[in-house]
Amino acid sequence: MVTLSSLSSIGSTLYLEIRCIQLWGEQTSTRYCINGMVGDGCDEAFIRAELGEFSQVEIIPICNEDGSGGMLDQSIDRSELSRLILETLNHLYFCVDTPPRRRRPGHVTGYADSGRLYRLRTKRSKPHCRSIVAEPQPCWQAA
């Protein structure tokens, strides 16, 4: 989790949690596609950012089933939030495991911010493997 900024107007600190980073392109023109969440402790929003020749951020508010929530972009100006996200992402260093190839993204395993190293969690599933249940028999009973 990376701290974006402490905004006195809302009285809380904004954070950015990066969930996935993909590296696209070739040696002369590469771009990073970053997915994650931004929040202030009460409200959160999904983000999708692209860093490269033309950097941009898309902010998607998270709402409850009843439509409530999603107040993060109302308490903070959306353009200011986008600027903070891009500014923070431009100061990160990315750990590239494999470079991008034709029509395949490069593999990014982590990033560094102000000397702190973060490792991205990679979850790989093998569709050909059979699922295994940990308990020997069902533990639940009918009422």
Average pLDDT by stretches of 10, the chain with 143 residues: 65 83 80 89 87 89 68 74 88 84 81 83 56 50 43
Number of domains making up the chain = 1
The pTM score is 0.73
Task: Give the per-residue pLDDT at 117.
Answer: 85
Flag whether 137 is in a domain: no
Residue 92 belongs to domain spanning: 2-119
- Residue 107 to residues 1, 9, 21, 31, 122: CA-CA distances in angstroms? 20, 38, 8, 13, 10
Flag whether 143 is in a domain: no
Q: Cα separation of 84 and 30, whole Å?
A: 22
Task: Give the per-residue pLDDT at 9.
Answer: 54
